[in-house]
Amino acid sequence: MAGAPHQDQEINRLKRIIEAYEKLTEFSHQELLEADRTIQAHEQIQGMSAEEIRSLHRRIDTLKHENTFRKRIKAILQEDMQNESKILESLERIRRSSTEDFLVDLFRVLVHYEFEGKEAQNYWDAIIRHNQEMAENLGRPVGLRVALLDFFINQNKILKNPMIIEISIFDEMMKNNVLDELTQVYNRRYFDRTLMREINRARRHNGKLTLFLFDIDNFKKYNDTHGHTAGDEALKCVGRMLNSEFRREDTPCRYGGEEFVVIMPETSAEAAMLVAGRFSEKVAVAQLSSGNISISGGVASFPSDGEEPGELFLQADRALYRAKSDGKNRILHVADL
């Protein structure tokens, strides 16, 4: 058992690799479609080569087609993490009732490597044996994916962690295209696209949608007095609070400068006013090294205040302008002007 500590370290390393692999399985079908559109925008903005774009589009297409299969395999692997025999039985049952391509697909999902049918079968048998050997050496069960990656990385040496780099690049590209780097909320481009989509959805289902537009009061003076580092601290604080205080289905965005906007699906103006008011109160008491800040905001709802993206935004902006004219540090609904 002298090698057990070393094996434990290696298992922990493999588990971290698995977590990186699983980033790709977290994308919903809608998110994959969004990724496809993002790549198109990236092509126009960044001037990527045609081959790079084709490669990324192929990757997105593969992910779309594998989405259902991935969910099925992931459900099996998470079914009973302490019962490896149950997991293996489930996979074997599917393998026996499926075509010979099942193992080819399984390896492509788990290690992102494509084998021929017979080759995949031989590797599967070898991995089952390797899983048993690791469990015997350690005196406890070892996860199937840990054994699988250990086999391909340390035993067979086919893999050199090729997807880890690809995943990190893909993840970084997605973040760069939809997130504001400083505040870590969504950016203006993502806001424009999402608002159009959410309005169309609300229109189809006779639903509601509310915009909450706000900015930081006297931000230029705050910047000039305390410096840009303090200004950045304030913006980051607002970003963190937006991400923590609003629902997952809401979309907080930095519209530009010190101006932010939140898309709130299935939310009435009355409910949005309550949420925006609570948020404003929390911002006002946030601990900042250079002193407190306050916000002024405007609320407008679809369809009562506007039925098109531009119209709805202008109405929220009108309410914001009045809030600032009336003394700042307040939230107004455009219908109350």
Distance (Å, whole) CA 293 – CA 183 = 16
Token pair for 129: 């044996």
Domain with CATH 3.30.70.270 in the chain: 179-336
Contact between residue 234 and residue 219 where contact means Cβ atoms under 8 Å apart = yes
CA distance 42 to 178: 11
Q: How far apart, in whole angstroms, are the C-alpha atoms of residue 145 and residue 151?
A: 10
pLDDT tens-digit map of 142-173: 677 677 777 877 777 776 554 443 444 445 54
d(CA 218, CA 96): 68
Fold of 179-336: Alpha-Beta Plaits (3.30.70)
Q: Tokens for 35?
A: 């990724």
> Which tokens is 303 given?
């369809």
Question: What confidence tens digit (pLDDT) does each residue in 196-233 have?
Answer: 989 998 998 999 999 999 999 999 999 999 999 999 99
Question: pLDDT per residue over 279-324, tens digit each?
Answer: 999 999 999 999 999 999 999 999 999 999 999 999 999 999 999 9
Helix (H, G, I), strand (E, B) or coil at 301: strand
Q: Rounded to two decimals, what is the model's pTM?
A: 0.54
How large a percentage of the chain has pLDDT more than 90? 43
